[in-house]
Amino acid sequence: MNFCMVTTFYPPYHFGGDAMYIYRLTNELARRGHRVTVVHCVDAYKVLRDAEPKGNFPHPENVTVHRLRNRWGKLSPLVTYLSGQPGLKAPALDRIFREQHFDVIHFHNVSLVGGPGVLGYGTGIKLYTTHEHWLVCPMHVLWKNNQEPCEKPSCLRCTLAFRRPPQLWRYTGLMASALPNVDLYLSPSRFTLDQHIRRGFSMPIRHLPYFLPTSETLVDATASESEFPLPTTRPYFLFVGRLEKLKGLQTVIEQFRTYDAADLIVAGDGDFGPTLRQQAQDLAHVHFVGRVHPVPLRSLFARAIALIVPSIGYETFGIVSLEAFAAGTPVIVRDLGGLTEAVQDSGGGYTYRTPNELVAAMEALRTDPAHRRELGAQGLQGYRRLWSEEPHLDRYFALIDEARAIRAGRSAAPAR
């Protein structure tokens, strides 16, 4: 089959797990003999970061990547943000979809690559993965007024609280008219699926969690000790992710102000980084190592006591938990949003609600290596059973068949 992935961000021009999921899915499809075309927007990445990205992200030869760059630069994603349409990217998109017929068009985060307007492109079977909550939330993340999880929306006020210009197209019928262009929507977590339905989303939507290819998980903690130079010789807990307020790292650093039985290593970067570093400046056992490429990151996972995922906002899944499980490392996640599902489905860690529960979970794993190994083994088994490439792709192709049947049913329905 001939696939097209349409997304705002794609490695190395990316910031998180959703883009890595697209990269992994692209390569797994290509390895199975399918042709895959990826379309993404470099200008959107440049809006958020001027520096050139780092890292090597190879593809099989049957993958083609279109990195959209417009002579108007950062103006291009701004036009899309304000209009909900491809705007200045329309000529490039028109050319790509005119020159090829795609059997399956899979939309991902399209907020700055084309907005709702891009959903009308192409004639193949169309899927859309809700990596974030953008379809029901202008700020993507259900993080109200940049302060707390959103339970009662007030979208215009919230947009202004984020210091963003309002998306006036959201107060027109553009989204409602664009959504039926997609045959089937996919959600990485049951929580995110339920949140969409709760907030009025009525299109067909199914659960398809993320995956991590086994080719990326072959790591021997002993053999890999030289892969990443650790900033400490003591046992450590690990945080991996973007340094943003809603990721909740500030709450963990606060606990390490009184907890010194182990170190904390922080892998990642982001706009909230300077604030976090200042918070931890007098804590010698808290170490910031910046953004780490996925290959050396495996050894960081494998040698950690546990991964801590402390998000204070509604995450859609938390793919870092799978990376920890694949290394045989348990996770400790805040009991909020979609984060808990990987722990609940595998038994590979702890959930917590209070600071005391967090510390208790950390101590349970630090002081009892056998218990840590047991939970790590459960996480590893769960990863292989639920979140490796084979079960994911089996489900993925079954959902393509379902999307095809949905389209056929619409075509056969009598006109009203």
Query: At a CB cut-off of 8 Å and minimum separation 6, what does 78 contact?
Result: 47
pLDDT of 244-300, one tens digit each? 999 999 999 999 999 999 999 999 998 899 999 999 999 999 999 998 887 888 899
Residue 370: the pLDDT is: 98
Which residue segments constitute the domains of the chain, with CATH numbers given? 2-211+389-412 (3.40.50.2000), 214-386 (3.40.50.2000)
Nearest to 283 by CA among 232, 358, 212: 232
d(CA 399, CA 396): 5
Residue 413: the pLDDT is: 60
Residue 217: the pLDDT is: 64
Residue 264: the pLDDT is: 98
265: phi then psi, degrees, rounded to nearest 5: -110, 130
Q: What tokens appear for 72 in the block?
A: 């108007």
Residue 221: the pLDDT is: 40
CA distances from 405 to 72, 102, 399, 400 (A): 41, 17, 10, 9
Nearest to 386 by CA among 394, 374, 376, 375: 394
Q: What angle do CA 56, 16, 119 make, to 5 degrees?
A: 100
Query: In 192-303, which ranges are E strands?
Result: 205-207, 236-240, 263-267, 286-290
SS3 107: strand
d(CA 118, CA 357): 45
pTM of the model as a whole: 0.91
d(CA 379, CA 373): 10
Residue 386: the pLDDT is: 96
38: phi then psi, degrees, rounded to nearest 5: -110, 130
* Per-residue exposure over 105-138, b if at least 16 CB sit within 10 Å of its own CB, e if not: bbbbbbbbbbbbbbbbbbebbbbbbbbbbbbbbb
Helices (H), 32-126: 42-48, 75-83, 90-99
pLDDT of 357-411, one tens digit each? 999 999 999 999 999 999 999 999 999 999 999 999 999 999 999 999 999 998 7
CA distances from 185 to 52, 108, 173, 206 (A): 33, 10, 19, 6
| Residue ranges in the chain whose pLDDT is less than 50 | 219-226, 415-416
Q: What is the DSSP letter of 53?
A: P
d(CA 110, CA 40): 9
Query: At a CB cut-off of 8 Å and minimum separation 6, what does 205 contact?
Result: 130, 184, 185, 186, 187, 193, 196, 197
Neighbours of 401 (CB within 10 A): 10
Beta carbons of 301 and 329 less than 8 angstroms apart: yes
HSE of 9 in the Cβ direction (CA atoms, 13 Å)?
20
Cα 187 from chain centroid (whole Å):
11
Neighbours of 11 (CB within 10 A): 20
